[in-house]
Chains A and B, each alone.
Chain A
Amino acid sequence: MDYRHLGVPRSGAFDTYAFRVGNLLLGNNPSDAAIEMTMVGGRFSAQSDMLVALTGARAHDATMRRNSTSCGMRMDSVHLVEAGTEISIGRLTDGVRTYMCIGGGVQIEALLGSRSSLVSYPQLGLGRALLPGDLLPIEAATAMPASLAFVKPIDYRCETIRITPGAHWDAFTANQREHLTDSTFVVSDHSNRVGIRLGGSSIPGTIPQGMRSSGTIPGDMQIPPSGEPIILGVDGPTSGGYPVMGCVIEADLPLVAQLPPRSRVRFDWVAKEAAWEENAARACLLKGSQHEK
């Protein structure tokens, strides 16, 4: 189901790779709902036995505590969490988004065919960020997954993000296009799921204007008149009038999702054929490790 023609963003996990890894580890469906945490974790109390996997940005000091015993929770592994256990996750390192995937998925009400929360506009009624005291319906765990999947997490420290020519690539000068790959940009504090705003450098010269509004996708890099690029996120607008110089290749979108504020980032132009290869290789990492069910 897709409602982008009505202006509803794709939404869902920003780092789709980490999200899929978590569901894969648990033997879930690839799109089962999970909890996305940004910058910091949280405290969760298990009301029933369940299976839990943490993926994405490394969670500092992730522990589970029941009665007086506590143990650390490793990333990218499956934990059997018994009723009465408290999970505590501290600040996130090496990235900004960690996923808590749960066996069977979080069973909240689906709207418009999705359990995603559009956190930017809570009044719209398409979900909201979690609040203390929220009770999330979970299916009770029956057994550990038959065989544990092997997955390869992504190294988020990679500094270069690959980008293909976008909808208005032609409207920019060669000098402007080269500036994108010759410069180091800095991620703005005002970045979120709607868009990653970049500063530290800006595209020189006159930015093309007066574009006819057209459809956009997560990863599209818009250049507003200020020359400071914005990479659209999964909650970003579904169409726009700012010129799109390039688009981050699908395989590198998880790196964009995990960019910490004030981190440095560089870009590299790649052709769409090369991007297809990279996307296939990234997808293989997940497919090749899929265990038999």
Chain B
Amino acid sequence: MSRYEWRWTSERSLHFWCEESESMHPVSESLQQMLLTAYPNIVRAVVPSAGGVMVEIDAVQAKHVDPGSIAAMLSKDQNSSPPDSSAAPVLEILACYETPFALDLQHVAETTGLTKDEIIGAHTGRVYTVTSIGFVPGFGYLSSLDKTLRMPRRSTPRTRVPSGSVGIAEVHTGVYPVESAGGWHIIGRTPVTLFDPHRTPPSPLRVGQRVKFRRIDPDEFLQLEANGTDGAEP
């Protein structure tokens, strides 16, 4: 039986977390919807992360909210749908680890002492879990990276990381869904669009979603890019 603890983290936001985070599975989307409908005009946002969830409350209505009742709903959700990660579909992201996409592969090879193929093997050989989404829309923090690939962020972040870039830093890997600044080491690029506001849902990533990378060659990359693939295959 897992129970949620809670605390106010401002006058209009609450953080809920589960002490037994080992057994923790993320807040379901149905619960997010339930919270938004159970407290119409009161609950403004429900943002899950590994081991917890942040709920933003209307700044005027907040004093009428009973955090305990929300915690009870979360605990019930947690216990009613036990995680069955082996059955959950794994999202496969196609990635090309060749020049000119793998901007930092050489640097990663020098730092880790691994060959290019060993790096790619270590990156594609694991199933990752989305532990949080943020930084930019559709950017998922995927955990956890093979120990041999773990290294600190770049000392000087790039001002422009190309859209689709696959990066690694510390225990995480992730895909930049849009061109942005960034300090991760770029080892490849995906031709698939990871955020499209015209699509429902706009992003295939969820906290708790399992993700795997599959290596493709540059020809395949260019072909998929030309075809305008509109999503990662489940």
Interface, chain A (partner B; CB < 8 A): 2-10, 111-112, 118, 121, 123-126, 164-167, 212-217, 219-220, 237-240, 244, 246-247, 249-251, 272-273, 275-276, 279-280, 283
**B197 near A124 (CB under 8 angstroms)?**
yes
On whether A280 and B134 interact (CB within 8 A), knowing A125-B197, A217-B45, the answer reads no
Which of A5, A10, A121, A244 interacts with B136 by CB under 8 Å? A121
Residues on the A chain within 8 Å of B60, using CB:
250, 276, 279-280, 283
**B51 near A124 (CB under 8 angstroms)?**
no
Nearest CB on A from B31, distance (A):
11
Nearest CB on A from B74, distance (A):
14
**B11 near A238 (CB under 8 angstroms)?**
no
B9 within 8 A of A: yes
On whether A279 and B11 interact (CB within 8 A), knowing A7-B203, A111-B198, the answer reads yes
- Give A216 to B56 CA distance when docked, in angstroms: 9
Which of B29, B56, B195 interacts with A124 by CB under 8 Å? B195
| Listed A/B pairs (5) with beta-carbon separation below 8 Å | A7-B135, A7-B139, A216-B134, A240-B134, A283-B60
Binding site of A, secondary structure by majority: helix, strand, loop or mixed?
A: mixed
From 22 to 65 in chain B, residues with beta carbon under 8 angstroms from any chain A beta carbon are 29, 32, 36, 44-54, 56, 59-60, 62-63
B165 within 8 A of A: no
- Give A35 to B97 CA distance when docked, in angstroms: 43
Which of A118, A125, A212, A250 interacts with B11 by CB under 8 Å? A250
B12 within 8 A of A: yes
**B131 near A213 (CB under 8 angstroms)?**
yes
What sequence of 0s and 1s flags, for each residue 174-204 of chain B, a beta carbon within 8 Å of any chain A beta carbon?
0001111000000000000001111001110
Residues on the B chain within 8 Å of A238, using CB:
45, 47, 133-134
**A5 near B207 (CB under 8 angstroms)?**
yes
B120 within 8 A of A: no
**B11 near A216 (CB under 8 angstroms)?**
no
Which 7 pairs from chain A and chain B are nearest by CB?
A: A215-B54, A215-B47, A247-B10, A250-B59, A239-B134, A275-B11, A272-B11
Which of B45, B59, B196 interacts with A4 by CB under 8 Å? B45
- Give A238 to B54 CA distance when docked, in angstroms: 10
**A276 near B132 (CB under 8 angstroms)?**
no
Nearest CB on A from B25, distance (A):
15
**A239 near B132 (CB under 8 angstroms)?**
yes
Chain A, Cβ-Cβ closest to B133: A7
**A5 near B47 (CB under 8 angstroms)?**
yes
Which of B49, B132, B137 interacts with A126 by CB under 8 Å? B137
Which of B8, B36, B195, B206 interacts with A272 by CB under 8 Å? B8
Residues on the B chain within 8 Å of A212, using CB:
49-52
Chain A, Cβ-Cβ closest to B52: A214
Nearest CB on A from B189, distance (A):
15
Nearest CB on A from B1, distance (A):
22
- Give A33 to B139 CA distance when docked, in angstroms: 27
- Give A235 to B75 CA distance when docked, in angstroms: 31
**B46 near A220 (CB under 8 angstroms)?**
no
